[in-house]
Amino acid sequence: MNITVIGTGYVGLVTGLVFSDLGNEVICVDIDPEKVRSLLEGRPPFYEPGVEELLQRNLQEERLHATTELESAVRHADVIFITVGTPPRENGEPDLRYVEQVAQEIGRALNGYKIIVTKSTVPVGTGNYVRRIIEDHRQGDHEFDVVSNPEFLREGSAIYDTLYPERIVIGAESQRAALKIVELYAPLERPMLITNLPTAEIIKYASNAFLALKISFVNSISNLCERVGADVTQVAKGMGYDSRIGAQFLQAGLGFGGSCFPKDVKALIYSSQKHGLDTTLLQSILDINEQRAFDFVERMAEKLGGLKGKTVAVLGLSFKANTDDVRDARSIEVIGALMQHGADIRAYDPAAMPNFQRIYPDLTYCRSAYEAAENADAIALVTEWNEFKQLNMERIFKLMRKPFLFDGRNIYDPMRMQKIGFEYYGIGRTVEAPLLQPALHGARG
Determine the Cα angle at 375 with ends 373 and 381, to 5°.
30
Q: What are phi and psi of 229, to 5 degrees?
A: 80, 20
- 201 scored as a contact of ligand UDX (CB under 6 A): no
Amino acid letter for position 138: R
Residues identified as active-site: 260
Residues 212-251 that bind ligand UDX (CB under 6 A): 215, 249-251
Closest CB to ligand UDX among residues 211, 378: 211
Residue 257 contacts residue 219 (beta carbons within 8 Å): no
The residue count for binding ligand UDX (CB under 6 A) is: 20
- Minimum Å distance from CB 203 to ligand UDX? 11
CA distance 405 to 386: 17
Which of 83, 311 has the CB closer to ligand UDX?
Answer: 83
Q: Which is nearer to ligand UDX, 154 or 299 (CB)?
A: 154
Alpha-carbon distance 143 to 115, whole Å? Answer: 9
Give 134 or 334: the residue with its C-beta nearer to ligand UDX. Answer: 334
Binding to ligand UDX (CB under 6 A): which residues in 244-273? 249-251, 253, 255-258, 260-261
Identify residue 13 by its one-letter amino acid code.
L
Choose which of 15, 20, 208, 222 interacts with ligand UDX (CB under 6 A): 208
Closer residue to ligand UDX in complex, CB, 110/381: 381
Q: Smallest distance from the beta carbon of 156 to ligand UDX, in angstroms?
A: 7
Distance of alpha carbon 157 from alpha carbon 8, whole angstroms? 17
- Using alpha carbons, select from 6, 15, 167, 177 the residue that is nearest to residue 99: 6
Distance CA 39, CA 8 (A): 9
Round to whole Å and give the CA distance between 287 and 295: 12
Binding segment for ligand UDX (CB under 6 A), chosen from 55-63, 153-161, 365-373, 426-434, is 153-161
- Kindly give, in sequence order, each residue whose CB lies less than 8 Å from that of residue 412, ignoring residues fewer than 6 positions away: 381, 389, 393, 405, 424, 426
CA 89 to chain centre: 19
We find the least distance from the C-beta atom of residue 439 to ligand UDX, in angstroms, to be 30
Least CB distance to ligand UDX at residue 40 (A): 26
Q: Which residues bind ligand UDX (CB under 6 A)?
A: 151-155, 208, 211, 215, 249-251, 253, 255-258, 260-261, 319-320
